[in-house]
Structure 1
């Protein structure tokens, strides 16, 4: 199932969390200052979306 690449026990979500010094399982890790910035500036009423990709693909998608 492509929505649960880690299996049924692992869930099918991608999370934003603070960096813990090691790899993630498809999550996005941020520095503490980066997380603080997001929490202070994102407006939940605007329903923000996280877009992931390398620079070339993100630039082409604009």
Structure 2
């Protein structure tokens, strides 16, 4: 999928003062992540299952 077609939003964990910001775009089959300071740069694509495991901390240990 072309990342220009995605609807990106800033993560609720992002700093609201211009610091490190993560943007997320969701589709039924994928979760896309990118650096808000470099939107044209590389991005990470995860499955919803992997994203859920990351958020719950299951991938940390």
So what's the TM-score if we normalise by structure 2? 0.25
Bigger Rg, structure 1 or 2 = 1
Question: RCO (CA 8 Å, sep 6+): is it higher in 1 or 2?
Answer: 2
Q: Hey, which of these two has a bigger chunk of strand by percent?
A: 2
